[in-house]
Amino acid sequence: KQEVTQIPAALSVPEGENLVLNCSFTDSAIYNLQWFRQDPGKGLTSLLLIQSSQREQTSGRLNASLDKSSGRSTLYIAASQPGDSATYLCAVRLIYNQGGKLIFGQGTELSVKP
Amino acid sequence: EPEVTQTPSHQVTQMGQEVILRCVPISNHLYFYWYRQILGQKVEFLVSFYNNEISEKSEIFDDQFSVERPDGSNFTLKIRSTKLEDSAMYFCASSGGGTGALGEQYFGPGTRLTVT
């Protein structure tokens, strides 16, 4: 059974710092991995989708990397801002789940202090 | 920018009552999903839907649950007889384009269901 784990559970950093969020998964037979942002009481905003054949994907200050063989992905946030404060979720889609099922981690709650 | 919408934002119901949660997916998407998040827990997959039938469902999605695409724009989740443990945030999502069910999923803002 696929398990997705995110470390740390919570992170507090001063504004301007670069930071890395970690996601690990037990089954490497993934089709792709998606990173989301969730603000308190709100929906999920898709940040990046990285295919299993890709090593990394970038959008603005965000960079996601994927190492399928070791079952890890990282989300790098450059020059963090208070507006980046949210919970960040990673989710994987296995190759067996042709119906598109995403399996989520529990998230990393990020707080960026001014 | 196109987005997934959901109504209502909050639904309170009594145990044993039927509820229908509504979603309007992104207009050119063909793959639709429901997920739920119990307070403090992970987001969990419930069901995926394509071409008017269920593509995949989880063990949570038992006979009390059903999904429907009643017209060209809406996608609904029905819970026939709600239980206290159905209290959660329910998210609708959709995906489309060339990669279909394997493409990027876009989520709605959620419906918070409270069963009393």
Q: Which residues contact B70 (CB under 8 A, 6 or more apart)?
A: B76
Residue B70: pLDDT band by 50, 70, 90 thresholds? confident
Burial class (CB in 10 A: 0-12, 13-18, 19+), B90: buried
**Cβ contact, residue pair B106, A46, below 8 Å:** yes
Mean of per-residue pLDDT scores for chain A: 94
Burial class (CB in 10 A: 0-12, 13-18, 19+), A103: buried
Q: Which pLDDT tens digit goes with each residue over A57-90?
A: 999 999 999 999 999 999 999 999 999 999 999 9
- Is A26 in CB contact (< 8 Å) with chain B? no
- Is B94 in CB contact (< 8 Å) with chain A? no
Residue A97: pLDDT band by 50, 70, 90 thresholds? confident
Write the CA distances from A38 to A48, B24, B71, B108, integer angstroms: 13, 20, 30, 11
User: How many contacts does A have with B, using Cβ atoms within 8 A?
Assistant: 67
| B23 and B6 Cβ atoms separated by less than 8 Å | yes
pLDDT at B115 over 70: yes
In chain B, which residues have their Cβ closer than 8 Å to the Cβ of A41? 112
- Is A64 in CB contact (< 8 Å) with chain B? no
